Structure formats: C-alpha cells, structure tokens
Amino acid sequence: MIQNQFIIKIFTGNISGHLMVVMITLVMITAGCNNESRQQAGNSSETKEQPVPVPQFDADSAFSFVKQQVDFGPRVPETKAHAAAVAWLTASLQQWADTVRVQDFVTRVYDNRIFKGKNIIASFNPGSKNRIFLSAHYDSRPFTDHDADAATHKTPIKGGNDGARGTGVLMEIARQLHLHPVNRGIDIILFDLEDYGPPQDTQTDQGSDWWGLGSQYWSANPHKPGYTARYGILLDMVGAADATFPLEGFSMYYAPDITKKVWETAVAAGYGDYFVFDKGTYITDDHYFINTIAKIPTLNIIHLDPTSANGTFYDPWHTLADDITQIDPATLKAVGQTLLTVIYQKSF
C-alpha cells in the first residue's frame, strides 16, 4: 500500500489564526491517515496465510506400522490374519482421526467365488469442503505366482512392500495429523481386495476388472454420499531400497498437473533420486478405477522397474521374498515427507 503524504511548509513571519487552524487540521488528517494505513497493514499481516511448519515424518514409526502388518501374516481376505489387521488398523486410526468408518462390501473374484471385503476410511476435518485423499491397499496377494519355484505358487505372500508399505506410510501420516492439526480436509482410505486378481499360471485374457475390487466398490459407492475431493494420491510399492517412482501413465493422463507438482515438491524436498521425471508405463491400479468411476483426479506413486525379470515391477513382486526385509526406512521417509509437505504447505 502507498501511503498518502501531505507536505506542509513552515513559513517565518506572522500567520493568521485561520491559516493556523488549516495547518493543524491538515497535520491531524495526515496523522489519522497514516495511523489508519498502519492499522490496515497490521490487520493484513494478521490475516495473511503464514507458512505452516511441516512435521518431520518418522520413518522408524512408519517401519513399525509396516512390520506389525507383516507380523499378522498374509492378509488375504476372510482369514484370521486379515481380520486381525482390520481390527488393529481401525483401532489405531480411531486414536488419531476425527472419524473412522469400515465400509463393508461383497464382491465376486475372478473364479466366481464371493468375498466379503472391508475398506477403512479415516477422516480429518470431516466438515471441510477443501479435501484431498491419500490411499493404499492393505490386503496381500493369495498367490506367489511370480516366484521362481512353481511349487510355491499357491502360497500367500506376507506382502511387505506390496500391501503393508503404503498403509504404514499413511498410518504415520495419520499420527502426524493428530499431533499437528491442519486446516484442510484429509481422508485416508485403505482399500481391500486389491490383489486378488487371477494367478499368472492360469491367467488368460480375463480383463483387468478383477483387480482393485475394493477401490472399484468405493468409487461407485463412496463412504459419504456425494463425496468428492480436489485430488487423490495412491501409494503402491513405496518401501523398497533405492526405489524410483517415474511418472506413471494413467497419473499423467488423468491428473498431469497435480502429478508434476507432487514430483516437483519431492525434488525440492531433496528426494529427486526417488521421484524421477521419466515416463512410466500405464498401470491398472486402484487409481485407474477412481479416475474412471469416481471422476476424482488421482495419481499413483508406484515403484516401476522395467529392467526387472518381470519387466515392470521390482523383482520380489508377488514372490515369497516380499516380506519385511524388502522395506527400507529411507524410502518410507522420502514418500512420507513429500506427502506431509504437500498436506501442510501446498494449496494445489
């Protein structure tokens, strides 16, 4: 603001009383304007949005949340390990979030069997219309169909990186949101039955709709009628050492601006070795169904490795090797700190 200024020249000699009154009046008006300007400037500085400190993501805490899930065993729907994981995840989130809902659903899997699934939704500032959501799946694969030993292909996996990792990151973010409240709406959505697609050994051209069953259900039946968000972020396989997250295809198709901004945030935070601006392939993951059914622009932070034996994902994917040994706290930190920076300091 440019403050108005009056310049009053002082003359020597006699000054009439009338002129003296005019000069005093001008001085008083000037002082009043200056005081008002200062007051307005002060009010402006008080109402201006100040940068919000970003909490430090605790990678050791996130690792413990991953380990707890792995310790339950393979979290295949309708097993004791799965039920134990649901109970623990729900009880933990209830300590931190304003509301927690378990969305029960029934779905058919690739071999026509019927399964009962449970999506878990934790909400912060549920009354806010300015919302974003963060998501991951917590179930684990019932088959090790990419293991080198074909005799193990019907063995469920513990799913350290493919199942527990993203959920562990989001659990730590939920804990930080409780410790450091933020003035925006955040939903954390943990999807079930993401990984019950057809086994590789028998899979033919059965389509992709047998994957992401929990996210398909939520996209068509959100936990709150009329629910929407500005955008969403999905985490998948974000725990392996030296992971790299290229710009996944569907993320760039449905949410290109948000995707680039998240990657730029990560680079600015010092995690450019993880978040690379390489073009990634198109992955039919939970975010695909959210984009196409719920119509909420959603991106996927996912570890892609075209040099691996399977040509797309890192080598332990869908093998017995995918356990807690695959989790590197440094990678959890890179992803978690990036998300906290987006939550606390980015308005996009």
Please check whether residues 11 and 106 belong to one and the same domain.
no
Give the pLDDT score at 208: 77
CA atoms within 13 Å, Cβ hemisphere of 267:
11
pLDDT band at 206 (very low <50, low <70, confident <90, very high): low
**316 is in which domain, residue-wise?**
59-345
Please check whether residues 41 and 67 belong to one and the same domain.
no
In a domain? residue 333? yes
Please check whether residues 156 and 17 belong to one and the same domain.
no
Average pLDDT, the chain: 88
In a domain? residue 340? yes
Please check whether residues 16 and 158 belong to one and the same domain.
no
Q: Which of 28-32, 242-246, 248-252 has the lowest mean pLDDT?
A: 28-32
Residue 241 CA to residue 263 CA, distance in Å, equals 19
Tokens of residue 65, six digits: 């949340």
In a domain? residue 284? yes
In a domain? residue 156? yes
Cβ(240)–Cβ(161) below 8 Å = yes
Please check whether residues 127 and 244 belong to one and the same domain.
yes
In a domain? residue 53? no
Largest CA distance in the chain: 113
Q: Give the model confidence (pLDDT) of 269-322 as tens digits.
A: 999 999 999 999 999 999 999 999 999 999 999 999 999 999 999 999 999 999
Please check whether residues 72 and 39 belong to one and the same domain.
no
Cβ(161)–Cβ(239) below 8 Å = yes
Please check whether residues 177 and 306 belong to one and the same domain.
yes
In a domain? residue 54? no
Cβ(218)–Cβ(291) below 8 Å = no
Helix ranges (DSSP H) in 180-268: 213-220, 249-254, 256-268
Q: Give the model confidence (pLDDT) of 33-69 as tens digits.
A: 444 443 444 443 333 445 689 999 999 999 999 999 9
Please check whether residues 155 and 290 belong to one and the same domain.
yes
Please check whether residues 220 and 132 belong to one and the same domain.
yes
Work out the angle at residue 333's Cα, subtended by the Cα atoms of residues 331 and 336, and round it to the nearest 5 degrees.
110
Helix (H, G, I), strand (E, B), or coil: what is residue 182? Answer: coil
- Boundary residue ending a domain (47, 68, 84): 47
Please check whether residues 211 and 322 belong to one and the same domain.
yes
Q: How many domains does the chain have?
A: 2
Please check whether residues 33 and 178 belong to one and the same domain.
no
Q: Give the model confidence (pLDDT) of 168-185 as tens digits.
A: 999 999 999 999 999 999
User: In b/e form, how buried is each residue of 306-318, taking b as 16+ CB within 10 angstroms?
Assistant: eeeeeeebbbbbb
Please check whether residues 137 and 28 belong to one and the same domain.
no
Domain of 220, CATH number, reads 3.40.630.10
Give the pLDDT score at 203: 59
In a domain? residue 52? no
Sequence-ordered strand ranges (E) for 72-225: 99-108, 114-124, 131-137, 185-191
**Of 339, 337, 322, 341, which is closest to residue 66 (Cα–Cα)?**
322
